[in-house]
Structure 1
Amino acid sequence: MAGHSKWANIQHRKGRQDKLRSKLFSKLAKDIAIASKIGGPDPDMNPRLRLAINNAKGQSMPKDNIQRAVDKGAGGEGDDYEDIRYEGFGPGGIGFIVEASTDNRNRTAMEVRTAFSKNGGNMGETGSVSFMFDQVGKIEYPLDVTDEDTMMEAAIEAGAEDCETDDAAEDQWDEFEPVHTVWTARDDLGTVAPELEKKFGDAKSVNLVWKGQNDIDNPELAAQVMRLNDALEDLDDVNSVFHNFDLTDEAAATLEDDE
């Protein structure tokens, strides 16, 4: 998954995070409210809410904002949102999975379909892409919480499947914050994350993600794939976008050339 770290690096370098940050808190608040409405306002009894709150904390969302979102969901206020997943193909047959929360299926489907069609892709049927991915748990911690060996040992003891650490010394992207990334089986995320929290505090992020089984290495597609990725992420209803494109150093260099 090294390509996904590089992808995050390039998003930072191109100012993508600044552009998206204005929407970030509203999306986080919506996720918290939905989780609170579905499973109740107690994060200890509601794993989905716990994950949503941890992610909000990892993005420095103010505590008051988090509590308001919890209360809004618990009170049944606001629109009735539902989770929905879209699948499709980008340039060169790259697989994309798009997760959204929407109060209007028709609107969201039209916006996602348009983003695909305008950026060299096409939306597929449910199941047309997801068989090429595994849904797994992903936990991220800043490098300064501990060293690589200690994080690896703690992750394995907690029941994780793997742990990767970015090399801060070799990182060429000044604005990117290197992290320890802990991978878990889908069903183990809810037990591994609390164990790591006991030792290292709140994680930067805790999520279920779609991880490509065999990422596609084709540097010539990098710019096209990134345009589609950005178009999908810009949609208000979209929470997460996943793909099976391998953003190697060679592919990253082509994006540097486009600046």
Structure 2
Amino acid sequence: MSSTVRFPFGMVDIHGHWLPGVDDGAKSLEMSLRMARIAVDDGITTALATPHHLNGIYKTGAERVREEVAALRSEFARAGIELDLLPGSECHLVPELPRELAEGRAMTVADRGKAVLVELPVHSIPVGASTILEEILGLGLSPIIVHPERNSELARKPDRLAEWVEMGCLAQVTARSCIGKFGDLARDASKEMVTRGMIHFVASDTHRDRRRVPDMSYGRSVIEKWTNSEVGKLLAETYPRDLVLGRELELGALDEALPKRRRGWLRKMFGA
């Protein structure tokens, strides 16, 4: 299927479980349509459908993702919903993931072969995680660590995430974590990770049309209170837009946008 973007960019949601009946996300087409309307009302113009892959329950390979996204795009068009849906996947960090990616069985972001969403277990960091991430980087792909603030080990030891970012990984925080919907630990970790420059994207990780809805604006607003409007735009619009278009992210822009007292370790990364 084509990954051509159809609508002007507003906010771009790189993580969501939109495909009806595919994983633990939308349960029906009607729910997917309601989710899409919520997203549009929130100012989201483009979204990635990222079903779970290799998490021990769901194995949603690239071909099925392409088929399901094409079908749901058609339904959005039929319903007059101006939300551009692109293919993706939320891949569990397991030893077989690099091979799945190399052989084209795991879906990359927008099917462009440049980046992949990577999920950790909730409470731990798997043995050999850094080695697997290095293997993915060796394939020429950028691993995007999704919701690190919701991994209890990373939330308590964010320097582990900093190490991965220095390796070349990217990271995505959940919008609702920023407003405390996943608890105080996740909210506080979100703030530290964002203000230290470890986070490159904010996304909804939507699963439903209630509670886990596709909204990003509240989380973006909190991020802008922690930092400023320029950082909020980078995380909600600029970086995710460049990601789905297959462009290289101008990571130095984040260093420049962050409040000066937070820039220390990023300056070392970029030699500033």
Bucket of the pairwise TM-score, normalised by the shorter protein = under 0.3
Higher helix share: 1
Higher strand share: 1
Q: What TM-score does the superposition give when structure 2 sets the normalisation length?
A: 0.27
Higher relative contact order (CA 8 A, sep 6+): 1
